Amino acid sequence: MASGTGSLLESLLERGRQDAPFEVTAIVVDRACRAAEIARDNEIPLVDCRLADHHDRATWDAALTEQVDAFGPAWVVTAGFMKILGPSFLSRFGGRIVNSHPALLPAFPGAHGVTDALAHGVKITGTTVHLVDDGVDTGPILAQQAVAVHPDDTEDSLHERIKSAERVLLADVVTALVTRGVVIDGRKADIP
Ligand code: GRF
């Protein structure tokens, strides 16, 4: 699921082709974002995440859940998907939704993790890949990678450096999940 510039989506598509550990079966996007072009260019079925947002949120949540469920995904990856998933979606795919966040959680959760880290003056930030629960960026952490903050960093320069780390880490974690299942702290976690 992507609603940004799609760089994380592209890294997943590339990894999926290289060793074929997984296949991206459908892409949920906001049609207006660049990720939608990537879906069309790669001829992968596209689900428009605004499909029912002219209704109330519960209707949107139920409609999105049904549309995604129709593809029968083993895993759902939110790769720059800037909408909060609803209770129907979380109950259908809970435990099988993987998110990438551009900060070292639990530090700097939410939609401005990069800006907040810069504003706080941290010298090290990074990226976190975690399972999604019903909180915001609060699910079990699967992997993290540190990224140094440079004195002259802007939000864009720091975010691009974090994304370079994310592109590899997210693809590595998705490959591990598909091939080995969820391993947290060295223990295989039971996914409902
Ligand atoms: C990533 O940094 C991700 O952690 C955050 O949004 C960014 C998505 O980048 N949630 P892109 O749209 O894939 O380029």
**Cα torsion angle, 22, 16, 91, 181, sign:** positive
Nearest CA to ligand 1 atom 5: 80
Task: Give the structural domain span for 146.
Answer: 7-180
The answer to whether residue 192 sits within a structural domain is: no
**Cis check: omega of the bond before 21, within 30 degrees of 0:** no
Location of structure tokens 């598509």: 13
The answer to whether residue 12 sits within a structural domain is: yes
The answer to whether residue 1 sits within a structural domain is: no
State the catalytic residues.
Answer: 101
Location of structure tokens 């997984």: 22
Residue 13, token pair as written in the block: 């598509």
Nearest CA-CA partner of 101 in 136, 74, 67: 136
Q: What pLDDT shows up at residue 114?
A: 98
* pLDDT tens string 47-63: 887 765 567 889 889 98
Nearest CA-CA partner of 42 in 15, 21, 13, 18: 13
- Please count the structural domains in the chain: 1
Q: What are the φ/ψ torsions at residue 117 (nearest 5 degrees)? A: -65, -45
Q: Which residues does ligand 1 sit against, CB inside 6 Å?
A: 2, 4-9, 79-80, 100-102, 163, 166
The answer to whether residue 190 sits within a structural domain is: no
Integer angstrom CA distances of residue 71 from 24, 44, 95, 118, 124: 10, 11, 17, 39, 39
Q: What pLDDT shows up at residue 51?
A: 66
Mean pLDDT of the region 75-95:
92
E strand segments, 106-169: 124-131, 141-148
Atom nearest to 8 CA in ligand 1: 13
pLDDT grade for 72, boundaries at 50, 70 and 90: very high
Integer angstrom CA distances of residue 59 from 15, 51, 138, 156, 169: 34, 10, 25, 35, 34
Mutate to test the pocket of ligand 1, among 85, 163, 164, 169 (most ligand atoms within 8 A of CB): 163
User: Higher pLDDT residue, 186 or 79?
Assistant: 79
Residue 72, token pair as written in the block: 């029968």
Mutate to test the pocket of ligand 1, among 3, 7, 77 (most ligand atoms within 8 A of CB): 7
| Residue 17, domain CATH | 3.40.50.170
In angstroms, the CA 73 to CA 92 distance is 11
The answer to whether residue 187 sits within a structural domain is: no
The answer to whether residue 51 sits within a structural domain is: yes
Q: What pLDDT shows up at residue 98?
A: 96
Q: What pLDDT shows up at residue 182?
A: 75
Q: What pLDDT shows up at residue 28?
A: 83
Mean pLDDT of the region 160-180:
94
Q: Is the pLDDT of residue 127 over 70?
A: yes
Q: What pLDDT shows up at residue 192?
A: 43
Nearest CA to ligand 1 atom 1: 80
In angstroms, the CA 101 to CA 139 distance is 11
Residue 181: how many other CB atoms lie within 10 Å: 11
The answer to whether residue 185 sits within a structural domain is: no
Q: What pLDDT shows up at residue 181?
A: 78
The answer to whether residue 102 sits within a structural domain is: yes
* pLDDT tens string 23-33: 888 888 877 78
Mean pLDDT over the full length of the chain: 90
166: CA distance to ligand 1 center in Å? 8
